[in-house]
Structures are given as structure tokens and as C-alpha cells.
Structure 1
Amino acid sequence: MTRNNKASLTAFLSLTAAGALLLTGCSSNGDSGDSADAGPLLKEGVFKICSETAYPPFEFKDDSTGEIVGFDIDFANEIAKDLDAKLEIVSSSFESIESGAALDAKNCDAVISGISINDERATKFDFSEPYFDDNLALLVRDDSGITSLDTFEGVVGVQDATTGQAFATEKGLDPKAFEDGTIAVQALESGSVDGVINNIATLAYFAKDNSSLVIADKFGSEPLGAGVRKGNTELLDSINATLKRMDEDGTREAMLAQWMPAIK
């Protein structure tokens, strides 16, 4: 190799190394790259969550303001506050949330959407400590004569990709899946289904102001958690720290009283 070629090669390698450093700098600002490299948030100063926004009292649109509100939203705002970040909500299908697809696509930093903690989901993303203990329940029309799951006959409405759907299938029922829980309850009201199985917090919300709907039975334990991408321990630790702080200062108790008085 001639001296000139050696010099050219040395210059080339120097430029390549400088370019690599520039690229590393671009990745570390949080706009791209894995969360392990970019810090706890995809974008500095913004805490972005994916949520299925038709699931009261966890998350739903306030008709008077058009804003998304609910227990989960208040929880997410507390996390954002402790992160010194602004909350941003990405409306997503529950299937994309519970499957881990929304996190894998980096649509958000965390998924917070009334997600029951189970072993299958824990293989797809990391869960926080439980922030709410729920149950599955059966909602029926008051005049149906159904008093428990054992006396239930007919078609049961469920939300697609939920533990309620899995439970109904395991029990040998005839589940009819809907995109969200609100539509499933509307189908019960119209007579399209004979009952709805979902989390009791949501079903109690619909029943509290509708005397034609009653909770006929409840079963199982459904601890709910927030989910983050695998390995994002910094964000997970922050969420768990917020949960601890909320218990110590009474914030979680106040949220329960506001959003879930029927089952508090």
C-alpha cells in the first residue's frame, strides 16, 4: 500500500468515527433509538401513553369538554408530574396494547389502560406494581332472571383481546367480541347479547346510573398494572416510585373516591 493510500485510509477512518459519534448523539436525544439508549422517555419532557379511550371509569371522553379523563389518566398525570414531563395520550386499540405491539412500534412510552397483569402479557412487556385490584364480573339486564354465572344462558358480550373474553371461552360460554367495553354494554341494553363479562369497575360504572342493569356475579382477581418496554427499568422504577408516593400522600385514595365510589 502506498503512503498516499495509507493517508487516505487514515482520513477515511477518522471521518467514519466522527460520523458514528454524530449518529450516537442524534440517537441519545430520545427521538429515536431503544429506550435503553435514549433514556426513560422516547422524547424528553413528554410522557406518552397508549390507552383504549372508551373504557370508563379508567379512560373516556368527557362530553362536556372533549377531553380524555378517568382513573388511569389521573394516574398517568401523576407519573408525568414526577417525571417533570407533559402527558400525551395516544388512542389505541386494546389488542395493540395488550399484545405489546403499541410499545414495540414505539408509539408510546407506557401502556396504561386497565390492563390486567398476567403471565402471557408479562412476556411481552414489563409491568409496574399493581395500581388497582379489580375483579371480573357478569352484567345482565335486571329483568333477565339471571342471578349468577351458573344460571346464565345465551350470548355473552366481551371486549376483544381481554381477560374477560378468555374467561368466557374457558367457561364454555358463547362470547361475542366487541371492539370496546362501551359497545358491549350497549349491545346488552339493546338485547343483542344476554350479558357482558368485563372488569367490575367498568361494569359498575355503567350500572350505577342505569337501574335496568345489575351485576349478577363477580369472580377472579384482576390486579391492574402499567406496562413499559422490556428493559426500560428507569421508567418502571419511576412509575413504581409514583405509586408509592401516591399511597403515602393519599392521592390514590382520593382517586378511588372520585372514580370508583361504587366499589371503593
Structure 2
Amino acid sequence: MFKKVLCFSLAVMMCFALVACGGEKTNTDGKTYTIATDTTFPPFEYQDENGDYVGIDIELLAAIAADQGFQYELQPLGFDAACAALESGQADGVIAGMSIKPERKEKYDFSDPYFDSAVIVAVKADAEYASLEDLKGQTIAVKNGTEGASYAESIAAEYGFTVKTFEDSPTMYMEVTTGNAAACVEDYEIMRFGVENGNGLKMVGEKNVASSYGFAVQKGQNPELLEMFNKGFANLKANGKYDEILAKYLQ
């Protein structure tokens, strides 16, 4: 009888031990996260000649998922649509070269910063503008929700700029190349990539330090996803994979 009681007690203790251990592990078994991104924001996300999405954000997310062992489905929606999907619960996270801003932190939880950005002014390749002073009183094109837009608005009164907002970078660039705007303001690495790949523009003046990029989830939602992103990113920095990804896209 004593042996039966002892065996039963041990079995119960083992069950509790298993439950306790299971509770310490992030439970993502069988879950596929929906991650939204921009459609055209090279070199962070864009389509290659085969129509596949590539870029720093795309490879970084894939490497972090592999490191942490979670599954995800990528949805290239455009920046505004990606944010809307996150806020409506149709996406679990967004990686889209998103600057970590105070107003965004009110509704999103951000990862540790994964890239430090800067902004630059660009004009048509054959334009004679060489500085902000030369652009006084002109129309400046920006992309909605970007650091470039914030920077342009912050100096608009000083230089008499009229700021026009667009939903994507290609349309913003076209506004300048067709002469409807004298210049545009873009994140430096995005503009550098575009100029090198023949977008018809040239950079003028000095680049200005801007906010860092972060991976975002809806405030209070998917904390385990944010934790895995941060852990995976730290591992990639430590093992050199992060530097490899940057070197592939940033010359």
C-alpha cells in the first residue's frame, strides 16, 4: 500500500513539474505570425528582378525567425496599409524601416533599435540647386509618415517651403524628376541606393541624423514576438550575421 501511495505521489509531483517547466517556455507552437512590410523602400524592402521581396528588413526578419524558431507570413502592403493592418489586428508585427517616434510609441511597442537612420535632400540630377538656401520658397516632396517628412516640416517656415506629401517613394521621386517639386527629402540610405540605381536624382547638402528603425507590434500585444525579435537580433549582432546583411546592401 505504501508503495502505491508513494508511486502516486511521485507521479503527481512529476506532472506539476512538467506543467511548471512548460510555463517557462514561450508558447508559439503551431502559430504563424503575420508580418506586414512596405512594398518599395529599397534597400530595406523591394522586389528583385524575379519579383521576390528582398532587402535588409526582409533578410533580417528571416534570420531572426530562423535563430528563434518561429514561423511567419510576410505581407508587403505599403507603409500606411501595414500600419493599418497592425492596428486592426490583421497583422502581428510590422518591419518597414519604421522610425521609432514618441507619437508612435503611444500605440506601438517597439523592439530594440536595429538601424540608425539619417535624412538627405535630393533634387533632379541636372538641377542647379546645391543647398537648402538655393531651394528657398520651393515645393518639397515627402513620403507620408517618414523622418524626411518630419524634417521638411520642421524647416518649412525657415525656408518658405511648400511641403507635398505622397504615399510612396517612387511617386515622390517622380514629382521631382517631372519638375512639379524642386526637391524631396528621403532617408539617406534609401536615397543613396536610388541614386546609384538611376532614379534621376542627386543628393545635395549634408545628411541630418534622424530616429532609429524598430520592429513594431500593437501596444500590449504579442510580447513574445517582440522578445524573440530582440533576442534574435542580439544573437545576429554577436555572431556577425547582422553585419553580413548590412554589407550586402550598403556599400
Determine the C-alpha separation between the residues in 1 that align with 2:147 and 2:236.
Answer: 27
| Count of paired positions | 220
Determine the C-alpha separation between the residues in 2 that align with 1:143 and 1:151.
Answer: 14
Q: Render the CA deviation track for 1:13-34: whole Å, top value 9, x for unaligned.
A: xxxxxxxxxxxxxxxxxxxxxx
- CA displacement at 1:41 relative to structure 2: 8.9
Aligned to 2:19: none
- CA displacement at 1:86 relative to structure 2: 3.4
Aligned to 1:155: 139
RMSD: 2.2
TM-score by length of structure 1 reads 0.76
Q: Render the CA deviation track for 1:66-91: whole Å, top value 9, x for unaligned.
A: 11111110011122213423331222
* 8 Å Cα contact 1:158-1:198 kept in structure 2: yes
3-state SS, counterpart of residue 78 of structure 1:
helix
* 8 Å Cα contact 1:50-1:107 kept in structure 2: no
TM-score by length of structure 2 reads 0.80
Q: Render the CA deviation track for 1:54-110: whole Å, top value 9, x for unaligned.
A: 111111111x21111111100111222134233312222322445xx3222122221
Determine the C-alpha separation between the residues in 2 that align with 1:41 and 1:165.
Answer: 40
Q: Render the CA deviation track for 1:205-255: whole Å, top value 9, x for unaligned.
A: 111133952211311322111001222322111111111111111111111
Aligned to 2:15: none
Distance verdict in 2 for CA 1:204–1:234, change over 3 Å: same
Aligned to 1:183: 171
Determine the C-alpha separation between the residues in 2 that align with 1:77 and 1:139.
Answer: 32
**1:1-264 equivalences in 2 (<5 Å):** 44-62=30-48, 64-98=49-83, 101-153=84-136, 154-172=138-156, 173-210=161-198, 212-217=200-205, 218-231=207-220, 232-261=222-251
Determine the C-alpha separation between the residues in 2 that align with 1:43 and 1:144.
Answer: 56
Aligned to 1:14: none
Structure 2 unpaired stretches of 5+ = 1-24
Determine the C-alpha separation between the residues in 2 that align with 1:59 and 1:40.
Answer: 29
* 8 Å Cα contact 2:39-2:79 kept in structure 1: no
Determine the C-alpha separation between the residues in 2 that align with 1:85 and 1:229.
Answer: 18
- CA displacement at 1:191 relative to structure 2: 2.1
3-state SS, counterpart of residue 198 of structure 2:
coil
Identity, % of aligned positions = 29
